[in-house]
Amino acid sequence: MQKDIATPMRTREIMRKYGFSFKKSLGQNFLIDPNILRNITKYAGLTKETGVIEIGPGIGALTEHLARRAKKVVAYEIDQRLLPILDDTLSPYDNIRILHEDVLKADLRQMIEEEFAGIQDMMVVANLPYYVTTPIILKLLEEKLPVRGIVVMLQKEVGDRIAAKPGTKDYGSLSIAIQYYTTAETVMIVPKSVFIPQPNVDSAVIRMLLREQPAADVENEGFFFDIAKMSFAQRRKTLMNNLTSGLKNGKARKDEIANAIQKAGIDPSRRGETLSMEEFAALSDVLFPLFGESD
């Protein structure tokens, strides 16, 4: 068995060898606890039949654990300085492909067709850079990729928002966007002390398993997400106030908005954070004929 990359000694040794310094702009924090990496792969439920997409492999600490458990790993790395390091640290494994590309600009569907032909079970597993966590997860979900789920380590605060339930302070449009497509849960809290450099906050590992059908049946997905976003624009305001401010000509069409909210079976004086997914679906469906189609 290969010596783990994710130990303080080995990580510092690799960094010294290549004269590598962290780029704050890329949100680079390297994990130095192999047990946490083993747990992440366990929560992803990987087998020798699984294909894995990784984002931001760093020096390969998580990548090698994925390669040991899965059939094949394709990892996206944006920092060119890490490519020769990954060539070296991951050289014992023949089931890894590193792509030097920004995952937000990548054609993931085409990559899956080319790299994972014949593989039925697909997972995304990553230690995501804090600064682009949300756009990456939303891209993965909105593109409706053929994956079973996503297991990612991210800032604990973002994890709390992703897995939040209605009526809690963390519940918002991000909770709705992600829980619409997946069942989301926090499976592990990771203390900031197991990274170098040490970040300012703790992390969480979130497991999002794709639903066979979205959590709610809606007339228009884009409009549904817009309504959710508007409803949380100012958390202290009522649903009525937020929608009046957010919808086109909302102030002039106040009565129509109030009637539509009531038609959806919702009290206009409620706040967005009290509405369930089903209530947001009902709300967007009554508002769509009035405000959605003309845009």
Domain boundaries, the chain: 8-210, 221-292
95 carries a ligand binding annotation? no
- Classify 292 as helix, strand or coil: helix
267 carries a ligand binding annotation? no
The answer to whether 172 touches 10, Cβ cutoff 8 Å, is no
pLDDT in tens, the chain (295 residues): 578 999 999 999 999 999 888 776 666 788 999 999 999 999 999 999 999 999 999 999 999 999 999 999 999 999 899 999 999 999 999 999 999 999 999 999 999 999 999 999 999 999 998 778 999 999 999 999 999 999 999 999 999 999 999 999 999 999 999 999 999 999 999 999 999 888 889 999 999 999 999 999 999 999 999 999 999 999 899 999 999 999 999 999 999 999 999 999 999 999 999 999 999 999 999 999 999 865 4
Percent helix, strand, coil in the chain (nearest 5)? 45, 15, 40
Rounded (10°) angle between helices 254-263 and 277-287: 130
85-18-86 Cα angle (round to 5): 5
Query: Is 221-292 in the same CATH topology as 8-210?
Result: no
Nearest to 169 by CA among 232, 240, 238: 232
239 carries a ligand binding annotation? no
Q: Which residues are bridge partners to 186 per DSSP?
A: 206
Q: Tell me the residue type at 271.
A: R
29 carries a ligand binding annotation? yes
CATH class of the domain at 8-210: alpha beta
94 carries a ligand binding annotation? no
221-292 CATH = 1.10.8.100
200 carries a ligand binding annotation? no
